[in-house]
Structure 1
Amino acid sequence: MTPVRVVIALCLFAPFVAMLWVGSYAKIEPTFIGIPFFYWYQMAWVVFSTLLTMVAYRLWQRDQAARKAAREGGASQ
């Protein structure tokens, strides 16, 4: 497994770990504009998960393009 694919896996796995570790965010304080921590933490992860998925997708596209270029470059030699 290449380092890029490890980063892709971490980007996709991190939201699951963050949401399944309920003890880390099962509290009321600190509140944000009157919203308890439990709720705004989860909503922040919706946005953060989207960003991580976008990063993973871009890295995957770049990795696939590099592999295709390596295959084509190796075939022509």
Structure 2
Amino acid sequence: MSDLPEVKPPVVTPVRTVIALCLLAPFVAMLWVGSYTKTDPAFIGIPFFYWYQLLWVPLSTLLTVTAYLLWRHDQRGRTSTPASASVSAKGGDGA
């Protein structure tokens, strides 16, 4: 028998849906140009067109980090196998 962990088939879960939304939101926001092609409201003298796009730089970063952390958490849950759980239950670390 192979020592490779059992890999479960991909499944659409609520967490993966949130990950997809986090990654798609900046693309939709920037590609929907008609929603921000205006000058008002200005923010500290900067037209809306510019500050809206600049606002998406940190927002995109936060959304990408959130998606990454959610993905990492999801992958940890999927790769834990019953075999590794039984080793932990015996008190051994496999060494």
| TM-score computed with the length of structure 2 as normaliser | 0.74
Write 1 or 2 for the structure with the bigger share of helix: 1
Does residue 48 (structure 1) correspond to residue 59 (structure 2)? The answer is yes
Greater Rg, structure 1 or structure 2?
A: 2
Q: 2:82 is matched with which residue?
A: 73
Identity %, equivalent residues: 65
Residue deviations 1:3-39 (CA, integer Å, cap 9, x gap): 1111100000010000011111000001111100000
Task: Give the distance between the partners of 1:76 and 1:36, measured in 2 at CA.
Answer: 57
1:13 equivalent in structure 2: 24
Deviations 1:31-72 (A, max 9, x none): 111100000000000110000000000000000001012xx1
Which structure 1 residue ranges, 5 or more long, are not aligned?
none
Q: Secondary structure at the match of 2:37?
A: coil
Instruction: List, as ranges, runs of 4+ consecutive aligned residues in structure 1 with deviation greater than 6 Å.
Output: 74-77
Q: How far apart are the structure 2 equivalents of 1:66 and 1:35? A: 46
Query: Structure 2 regions of 5+ residues with no counterpart?
Result: 1-11, 87-95
What's the RMSD between the two structures over aligned residues?
1.5
1:34 is paired with a residue whose SS is: coil
**Length-normalised TM-score, structure 1:** 0.90
